[in-house]
């Protein structure tokens, strides 16, 4: 009997591929993207990931499940806040959502994947790239996140010593790379184990890089706060979780500064923590975002204890903060060469700068690197220091792209206040969702 039910589920999924409708006429300020699909774990994340991969902004969203079906409605704009006008982009969205999300480029299959986690410290990234350069490992693509005193990196490397074989095919070389990097990552006061793992790129090439970084930092327990002082409580995003006992849901309410890929980071974390989102609304006003989710465990039960509730709050706060980069945004664009990253990050270190986040991409022998940097003690960067680095690296190689945003100090609600906010929405949110999705009619 169980076999029959499982086969029926597979049949329903095959016969009901996502239906995608993209409409530019409904909303005057955004393009409406509507996805109707069979409900399965992770289907909402797949849709959000496809939009995030195109760097589209989701200004409003409504999603709701009804039995075996799931419906998402997104109001999206491009990076300049405009409706989508490029037919190629619209066609790509239709293909991506219709086949269940996007995947990483297959071109990375010829490279070797390198995953790193450990305690962060000033100059660490410089040391990592110096070791890779010394071992004749070139970095093609890489992403580095730091949060709460921890660092995580996913990089794709290749041999620069003349060998045509992937590094992952040489077991002795893998052992040498991992040992050298673990020695660099291991801090004197690190109570957790550092990790350096080299593997064939095919093992991670189908996984979204940002999602993998979330998983790595979650496994490294970066959500565990270093302290509980007032300053940290003040700066943390506002997250509350309550149970709606009558309907068997746990209600997650989030209010924070809006930014690109915020929705992806939150839904990614809920999905990887094995929660299912049944209903939700997303709304942005100015630079503020309000998100609300009705969730259950995969077995259909809500959050069952205070300890679990606190863990969900901590994990969601960490997911929001990881990408909320602190520091000055710099972009380095130049012809790729051996040891470039080691030289650039060493220059940062010698000038007292720390890298809080980095993105490295190489195509057609041109490398584009984005760095977020602060002073070594977390202080703002002196632009005179940047001017000196620019002169050292060469004209036009390094440019300042974005000034850091000031943190907004927001009081976190206590338990009673948070419960009051949640209960205010409980009575109307599901009904409002269903109306917005077109599943019920207005009574007015």
Which helix (H) or strand (E) covers residue 320, if one does? helix 306-323
Beta bridge partners of 74: 33, 61
Q: Are 128 and 114 in contact (CB under 8 A)?
A: no
Question: Which pLDDT band, with edges at 50, 70 and 90, does 440 fall under?
Answer: very low
Decide if 1-102 and 106-222+325-402 have a common fold.
Answer: yes
Q: Are 162 and 168 in contact (CB under 8 A)?
A: no
Region at 271 (left for phi over 0; alpha for psi -120 to 50; beta for the rest)? alpha
Question: Is residue 179 predicted with pLDDT exceeding 90?
Answer: yes
C-beta neighbour count of 103 within 10 angstroms: 14
C-beta neighbour count of 33 within 10 angstroms: 25
pLDDT at 429: 52
Contacts of residue 172, Cβ cutoff 8 Å, sequence gap at least 6:
none
Closest listed residue to residue 332, CA positions, set 389, 286, 260, 385: 389
In angstroms, the CA 310 to CA 174 distance is 39
Q: Which fold has domain 1-102?
A: Alpha-Beta Plaits (3.30.70)
In angstroms, the CA 149 to CA 412 distance is 22
Question: Which pLDDT band, with edges at 50, 70 and 90, does 416 fall under?
Answer: very low
pLDDT at 202: 73
**Window from 137-146, 198-207, 258-267 with minimum mean pLDDT:** 198-207
Question: Is residue 330 predicted with pLDDT exceeding 80?
Answer: yes
pLDDT at 236: 78
Record the tokens describing residue 187, joined without a space: 């801090």
For 326, the 3-state DSSP assignment is coil
Calculate the average pLDDT of the chain. 84
pLDDT at 8: 53
In angstroms, the CA 300 to CA 277 distance is 11
In angstroms, the CA 200 to CA 224 distance is 31
Question: Is residue 424 predicted with pLDDT exceeding 90?
Answer: no
Question: Which pLDDT band, with edges at 50, 70 and 90, does 230 fall under?
Answer: very low
Question: Is residue 435 predicted with pLDDT exceeding 90?
Answer: no
Percentage of the residues of the chain whose pLDDT score is greater than 90: 63
Question: Is residue 91 predicted with pLDDT exceeding 60?
Answer: yes
Every domain of the chain and the residues it spans: 1-102, 106-222+325-402
pLDDT at 168: 86
**180-194, 298-312, 370-384, 408-422 — most confident range:** 298-312
pLDDT at 108: 66
Question: Which pLDDT band, with edges at 50, 70 and 90, does 225 fall under?
Answer: confident
Q: Are 400 and 333 in contact (CB under 8 A)?
A: no
**What string of DSSP letters covers 410-432?**
-PPP-HHHHHHHHHHHHTTHHHH
CATH, domain 106-222+325-402, list 3.20.20.120, 3.90.180.10, 3.30.1360.30, 3.30.70.260: 3.30.70.260
Write out pLDDT tens, residues 134-174: 999 999 999 999 999 999 999 999 998 877 788 888 899 99
In angstroms, the CA 153 to CA 439 distance is 43
In angstroms, the CA 129 to CA 148 distance is 22
In angstroms, the CA 306 to CA 308 distance is 5
**Strand 57-66 to 328-335 pairing:** unpaired
């Amino acid at each position: 009997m169980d076999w029959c039910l499982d086969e029926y589920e597979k049949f329903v999924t095959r016969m009901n591929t996502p239906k995608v409708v993209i409409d530019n006429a409904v909303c005057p300020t955004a393009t409406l993207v509507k996805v109707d699909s069979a409900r399965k774990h992770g289907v909402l994340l797949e849709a959000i990931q496809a939009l995030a991969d195109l760097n589209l902004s989701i200004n409003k969203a409504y999603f709701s499940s009804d039995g075996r079906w799931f419906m998402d409605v997104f109001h999206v704009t491009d990076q300049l806040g405009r409706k989508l006008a490029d037919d190629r982009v619209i066609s790509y969205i239709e293909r991506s959502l219709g086949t269940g999300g996007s995947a990483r480029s297959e071109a990375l299959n010829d490279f070797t994947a390198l995953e790193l986690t450990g305690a962060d410290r000033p100059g660490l990234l410089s040391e990592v790239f110096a070791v890779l350069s010394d071992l004749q490992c070139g970095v093609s693509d890489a992403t580095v996140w730091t949060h709460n005193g921890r660092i995580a990196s996913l990089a794709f490397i290749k041999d620069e010593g003349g060998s045509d074989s992937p590094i992952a095919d040489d077991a002795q070389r893998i052992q040498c790379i991992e040992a050298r990097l673990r020695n660099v990552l291991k801090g004197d006061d690190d109570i957790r184990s550092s990790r350096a793992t080299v593997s064939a790129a095919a093992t991670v090439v189908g996984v979204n890089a940002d999602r993998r970084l979330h998983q790595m930092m979650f496994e490294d327990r970066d959500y565990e706060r270093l302290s509980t002082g007032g300053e940290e409580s003040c700066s943390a995003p506002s997250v509350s979780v309550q149970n709606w006992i009558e309907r068997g849901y746990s209600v997650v309410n989030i209010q924070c500064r809006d930014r690109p890929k915020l929705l992806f980071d939150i839904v990614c974390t809920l999905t990887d923590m094995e929660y299912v989102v049944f209903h939700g609304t997303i709304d942005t006003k100015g630079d503020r975002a309000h998100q609300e989710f009705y969730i259950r465990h995969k077995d259909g039960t809500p959050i069952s204890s205070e300890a679990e509730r606190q863990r969900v709050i901590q994990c969601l706060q960490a997911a929001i903060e990881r990408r909320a980069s602190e520091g000055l945004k710099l972009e380095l664009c130049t012809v790729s060469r051996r040891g470039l990253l080691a030289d650039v990050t060493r220059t940062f270190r010698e000038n007292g700068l720390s890298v809080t986040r980095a993105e490295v991409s190489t195509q057609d022998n041109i490398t584009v690197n984005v760095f977020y940097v602060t002073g070594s003690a977390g202080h703002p960067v002196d632009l005179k220091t940047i001017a000196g680095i620019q002169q050292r690296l060469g004209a036009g190689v390094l440019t300042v792209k974005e000034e850091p945003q000031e943190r907004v100090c927001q009081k976190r609600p206590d338990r009673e206040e948070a419960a009051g906010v949640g209960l205010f929405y409980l009575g109307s949110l599901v009904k409002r969702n269903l109306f917005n999705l077109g599943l019920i009619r207005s009574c007015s």
